[in-house]
Homo-oligomer: A and B are copies of this chain.
Amino acid sequence: MSGDEFDLIRRHFAPLATDPGALGLLDDAALFRVDPGEEVVTTVDAIVAGVHFLPDDPPDLVARKLLRVNLSDLAGMGAAPFGYLLTTAFPRDVDEAWIAGFAAGLAVDQVSFGLALLGGDTVATPGPACFTATMLGRVPAGCALRRNGAQPGDRLYLSGTLGDGALGLAAATGELDDLLAEDDRTFLARRYRLPEPRVELAARLVGRANAAMDVSDGLAQDAGHMARASGVGVVIERGRLPLSPAAKRALEARPDLWPAVLGGGDDYELLVASPAGLGDDALLSEIGRADTGSGVRILDEAGGILDLDQAGWRHFVDSASD
């Protein structure tokens, strides 16, 4: 890219620097303060064209997904987001309409989630487009939710619905064309392209949950992370898992899709362990419990333990989906 193209990108991003601490993106770095009783929570996630999003995905949705996967990580810690830094690596042939669409997507979710762009960097790459966001949030000091706090006896909850992410990717790539009606496929693809980070739920969980984390690598794997970190066993009842109507219809027709639903990732829901009943929260479904064992057991509707080692599972449970 030429200097003109860098200027063009800056012109599209400058209006996003709505916080005085961003210093108009004109200084070497950004500034922010936190209240004495707060901790800063920060995370970073990158997405690469052709790996984490489809090259022909609409640019505004790519931008919003970038923010949302990071927001989901903050939600997993119970934090309230306030700003982010952005690195864009654009291919040399990117056109202005794509950049404008990307910036428009950022603007929409800045408003939705109360964010400001605090800083960034733009580079040219001979490779595919790659975007990195560093998300910053606040949490009352000492109150961040961790994945290591689950206790035997805790009830386990899951927010939203499970499996829409993995089924949505399949829908977006045409794999479910023969299985589902167009409405269902559109719904699922939208869930894949635009996950719903559970930011408001996270604020409600601070002080009430023993442990929380976002489910981005698949429930089976992420529940294993919580079990290991907390030194507990996790039992999940498959029959209690919250499913969208579209996912239900897909699974009725194709039960072999269960491994994708339980292990496929990209759901960005929260897995929560709590000693208190949280069933009054409309976003949460009770899906199981923590016990004194270890590892993850997923029970089928008859109470039998699903064999996660069998062939259809290995792809989802063993491989990191980063």
Contacts and interface: CB of A to CB of B under 8 A. Distances in A.
Contact of A146 (B27, B73, B125): B27
28 contacts: A3-B318, A3-B319, A23-B146, A27-B213, A28-B74, A28-B77, A29-B73, A29-B74, A31-B77, A33-B34, A33-B40, A34-B34, A40-B40, A42-B118, A42-B119, A42-B136, A44-B121, A45-B121, A46-B121, A46-B132, A48-B124, A51-B124, A51-B125, A87-B87, A121-B322, A123-B130, A126-B127, A127-B130
B147 A6 contact: no
A40 to B, nearest CB: 5
Interface string A18-56: 000001001111111110101111111111101110000
A128 interface: yes
Contacts of A47: 123
B29 A79 contact: yes
Count of this chain's copies in the oligomeric assembly: 2
A85 interface: yes
Contacts of A73: 28-29
A320 B123 CA distance: 10
A107 interface: no
A231 interface: no
B31 A144 contact: yes
Contacts of A32: 39-40, 42
